[in-house]
Structures are given as structure tokens and as C-alpha cells.
Structure 1
Amino acid sequence: MQWSCDRTGFPVLELSELRLAVHLWPVCKPQFERYLAEPNGPGDTWYEQLLAVWPRASLMNLDSQTYESAMIGGIQPAEAQAFAKWLGMGFNLPTTDAWRSVDRALAASPLTQDDVTSLRSDRNLHRTAGRMLELVLQLSPQNWGQLALLRGGMLEWVINGPKTFGGLGVPRPHFYSMIMNPQRDRPVQPLRNGRHKFFGFRLVRLLQ
């Protein structure tokens, strides 16, 4: 598996067979806080609205049962796309088909000890990304899909049509209980307007 790090120091996997690069995990609060620190960012007042839905937690205080608290939740698609624009390099929310293709490709890619060693030793990896890696490794993932938390993470916003969005993924039952096959079922639409802690996102971009 090939990867690089984005401008926040979090890993982005490069799937040449799909011509896509994709964040290894749903976007985490430490990544997003880099964006907030920018002069033209959305600001602390806006961020407090998100934290009211899904409070911040130090990565050092999390474990394999609570890692969801590291991820951005309660976000709306347009807000996720604003972060993608700031991140640059053509990042955007994935389409439904792209998300499913990534899910299949990563589930079919074994995770080796050499992969883990290389990730741990990547000098471009931010220390908070390194901590996130150690949290997920506590789950003993056997393939890249398990490491990526495409199942066991958030409901992730996807583009499901012109100006239409929904969520794909399989959150853990103690976080948000639902029955869903993201390869088959329609992306989830929120039952009501507002912010929901279990809705997060990861970004993709085309490989050149």
C-alpha cells in the first residue's frame, strides 16, 4: 500500500487501481482544528456548535472502545466541503460509488506487519495521527479496510446525486445502533434536520 500525508499530517492512501487517494480514517478533530486556526476559518463560535453535539476528547485519554470521540461528528456536507477546499489538492467528499469501491478495495488488501512498521516510522505523520494509529491497532485489524474504520467508525457523508448527500458506513452499536449493508443499501438520510454526532466524513481526491 502506498500513502502520503496531507497538510495536517494525517495519512492518505493511494489506490492506483481506482485512481483515487482517500483518507485512512474519517477526519479527526485535530485535523479540523488546523483549519479552524486559519485567519479565514469558520471560527470558534461555529466549532462550539459541533462540540456541543460531539465533545472534544484528548487522544491520550481514548482507547479502542472510545476512539470515535477523536473524529469530527455533527458536521453538515457543505461544512465538510469547505474543509476539503482548505485542504486543497482537489479533495472532496466521495460519491456513493467511490466510497463503495474504496470499501471493497481496502477490505481485499491484507495489512502486514511491514505496513504497520512503515506507517509508524513515517516522519511526515503528525503525532496525533500516530496516536490514532495506535488506538486502531488495538483492534488487531487484519486488512486495510479494518484499519480504515470504514466499518466501525462513523456514518460518512457521500455525494448521492446533484446536491444530494447521505451517509455510508457501519458505526459500532454502542455508538449508533443500526442495520445496514453499505455495499447494497441506500445512503442514510437524517430523519430530522440538525446536527447528529454519528455523521462524519472522509475525503478523496483523484490521483494524477
Structure 2
Amino acid sequence: MTGITAGDDAEALAPPAQRMRPESAPEPPEVDHAFWPDTSGAVEPARRARIKPPKDGRRPALGLPLLVVFALCAAFFAWVSAEPFWLALGHGDRGTLTVTECAGNGLAARCEGRFAASAFSVEKAALAGTADAEHRTGDKLTARMVSGTSRFAYVGDAAGLHLRWSIGLGLLLLCGAGIAWATGALRLHGRARVTVLLLSLGAPLLLLLGNLALTW
């Protein structure tokens, strides 16, 4: 009986049934790709875009009072901007304002007087366009008025008049934006949003056009 040493080859030690040459190794079975489709190049399904649910409309308990407030503010700004707009464009009559009464002190001072022009005269016209505290009863000032139905006589240059009506126009547009917010226009979609936005911004401008026609 022969002994086995540690230096013998491992292949020689293996049983004959387990001895296998490299060239006699079996090949891996072929995979039927028609039965098992190749998914290595498959494209993952695109993620669905998140659709935001439409927001609820503005509550009437909040929207209606705000709508009334912004509409009244728009009417006021349209009224105080109409006469400066016409005077800045040169429409109106120049005359003399004789101060007949001044009341209050400082910023609260208010003066009024009699305006006389070649075409008409107004017994009580409020002084505008200058600091009322700088004038006293009996002063005669060169002023302009749009017509005999006006309530204000403006003293000053055209730059101040342009500043008055341009500020009024900007405040009108802000009122329009406030009306759009109060009515919930930004919560709408599509044509409804565009329509409500145009109406919200156009309503103050229509008030301005109406006041311009009345003060002509």
C-alpha cells in the first residue's frame, strides 16, 4: 500500500469521476430569448406629472366686502385724478383766485376763494397745488380751473399736475389688482382667469374715463 504525501497533485487525489479536462467541460445551456424577453434596454415608464387640484373660490363673506372697498377707493382716485389730467394737457381756463377764507394750521390748513376767469367765475373754489399754510385771506393767486363746475383751483406748474394724475393712475391699477384678488381671479383657470383679470383691471379705468367725461 502506497502512502500519499502532501506534495501530490490535487487532481491526482480526486476520484476519477470528478476528474474533468477543460476541453470536456459542458457548455452553459442556451437561453431562449423569445421566451424570456430581454429587459435590459427597457425604458422605465415616465412618471405621471402631478396635477394640482383647483383651489376653492374666494369665500363671499370675505370677497364681497373687499370688492366694495376696492371699488370705492378706485372711484375716489378716479375722481381726484380727472381734473389734474385735463389741466396737465392744457384744457381749462386761467384766472385769478382771491383767497377769502383759510382754516386750520400746518398740514391741516385749508384755503378757499373766489375764482374769476374771462369765461366764468366760481364763488367758492378750494385752493390746490400749493401749501395752504403759506397763504392768507386777501391773497390773489394765478390759478387754473377745468370748468365752471369744478371745485378746485390749481396753483402751480404742469409738473405737479402730471405727478398728481400719474400717482392716481397707479393707485387705480392697484385697486384693480385688489379687486382681482378679492374676487379670486387667480384661483381660476383658462379663459375664466383671463376674463376676470381683464374685468378687474378694466373697471377702475372705466371709472376714470367716466370722470374725465364728467369734468370736461
Q: Smaller-chain TM-score range?
A: under 0.3
Q: What TM-score, normalized to structure 1?
A: 0.22
Q: What TM-score, normalized to structure 2?
A: 0.22
Highest RCO, 1 vs 2 (Cα 8 Å, sep ≥ 6):
1
Larger radius of gyration: 2
Structure number with higher helix proportion: 2
